[in-house]
Structures are given as structure tokens and as C-alpha cells.
Homo-oligomer: A and B are copies of this chain.
Amino acid sequence: MTYCVGLRMKRGLVFMSDTRTNAGVDNISTFRKMHTWCVPGERLVTLMTAGNLATTQAVISVLEERSKAQGERNPSILEQPSMFQVARLVGETLREVISERSTQGQAADSAFGATIIVGGQIDPGPPRLFLIYPEGNFIEASEDTPFFQIGETKYGRPMLLRGFSEDLTFPDAIKLLLVSFDSTLKANLSVGMPFDLQTYVADSFEIGHEDRITRDNPYYNEISEGWGRALREALGQLPPYDMG
């Protein structure tokens, strides 16, 4: 499985993804699930992928035009005039890759499906965040739903629902994401470290802060241990049930 979250805040966007891929619990690998295209001063587009690895790698390769010789590549994502057009391009590419695999050749036991979060900003538009479905259609984050999760979304959702606000600062948003990722990691073996992190400051048109958070990251360990303690303290503050 996978766990990726994209947040849309007033200050900009935050992306976090795990790196575990697996075909059964005895066949795991580490792959980057976050991919960025950037023309400084003009556009930044970041994609996070969940689902069949062959599908998501094929989508990235097609978007990168890896079928062409090195010198002739001109990723079409860099030619789209708006984030909406980027989302449409990614959705169409995803749908094509899946339908090629589903209708040709051997049938597979598992689906070739994948889901993608794509976010960024293209001058002169605002920062936008989209969730793209395997069918190629997509939805956009709004004030009511200002973040998207893909993959193993359930374990880490309650704290996002309670803790997220569009007014968060980047450091607080990253802390919230780490708490959400830590809960997911503890409950599902197919979500694994390291985590990739990227921030995008609105109207900067360049990559913000980037980090790869590994198992020995002291801040992550502080959050992971501190969160268990803080949670128990929070429980302790609430009044016990009155058994009458």
C-alpha cells in the first residue's frame, strides 16, 4: 500500500509520501512516490502516486516523455497553461495507461489501478490541489475539503480532521502530517519509511523545503514518542465515565 497526503493551506502546499511498495508482505521495496516539475519563476507541479507501481511509473515516464531521446524531451506538463490543464493531462495519461494494460495481454489477478494527488501553481493562477481517480476524472481541494489522502487513508484521518486548519504554519502542518503518518505506520506494515516531504510557498514558483525523513530522524522519533505520551495525557484530561 501507500500513504500520501497533500495539504492546501493559505501559506501554500505541503506534500508528504511514504516510500514502501509491496507485492505481498515478503516482497517489499523502496520507491519514490513524489515527483516534481519546476520552472523557477513560472510553475511548480508535484505529483504523488498510490496504486500499481508499474502503472504509476508508466504515467510518470509518459509525462516525462521518456520515449524520446534525452535531448528531445519536453515534458508536456511544462506546456500546460493552468493547473486545471495539468490535472486533465495527468488524468488522461493515467486512464490511457490503465486501459492499455487492462485490455491487452494476460489478465492479472490484481487491478492496475492507481490514484494520484497533483498540486502546484502556474503563473498567474493560484496554488491548486487535485485528486485524480483511476478513471481519469478528478476533484479539486476546496475550503470544505482542504486536503487529500491516497492509499491507506483511514488510520491517519482522525487527527487530520481534528488538527488541520488552512491557517497552519508550515512547521505545524509538517508536525501534524508526521503524527498522521506515524499512526498509519504503526497500524499497516505496507506503509514504510523513509517519508518524502516537500513544501511549496504560495506565489514562490520554486520548490520550498525538501526533506527525506528516515527512521533515525531525531525529530520524527521525538514526535512518535511524544505523541503517545501527549495522547494519553489528553485522555487523562477528559472526565471518566460515571458508572452511577
Contacts and interface: CB of A to CB of B under 8 A. Distances in A.
Interface string A166-184: 0001111011101100010
A156 B161 CA distance: 13
A238 to B, nearest CB: 5
B238 A230 contact: yes
Interface string A215-244: 000010011001110111111011111111
Interface of A: 154-159, 161-163, 169-172, 174-176, 178-179, 183, 186-187, 199, 209, 219, 222-223, 226-228, 230-235, 237-244
Given A176-B235, A235-B175, A209 B243 contact: yes
15 contacts: A155-B157, A158-B186, A163-B231, A171-B240, A171-B242, A172-B235, A172-B241, A174-B240, A174-B243, A199-B243, A219-B239, A226-B238, A227-B238, A233-B234, A234-B234
Contact of A178 (B169, B171, B241): B241
A169 B222 CA distance: 29
Say whether chain A's binding surface is mostly helix, strand, loop, or mixed. Answer: helix
B171 A187 contact: no
Contacts of A209: 243-244
Contact of A161 (B175, B186, B219, B237): B186
A33 B231 CA distance: 30
Given A156-B158, A171-B240, A172-B241, 17 more contacts: A158-B158, A158-B187, A159-B235, A162-B227, A163-B232, A171-B243, A172-B240, A175-B235, A175-B238, A175-B240, A179-B235, A223-B238, A226-B239, A230-B235, A230-B237, A233-B234, A233-B237
A231 B162 contact: yes
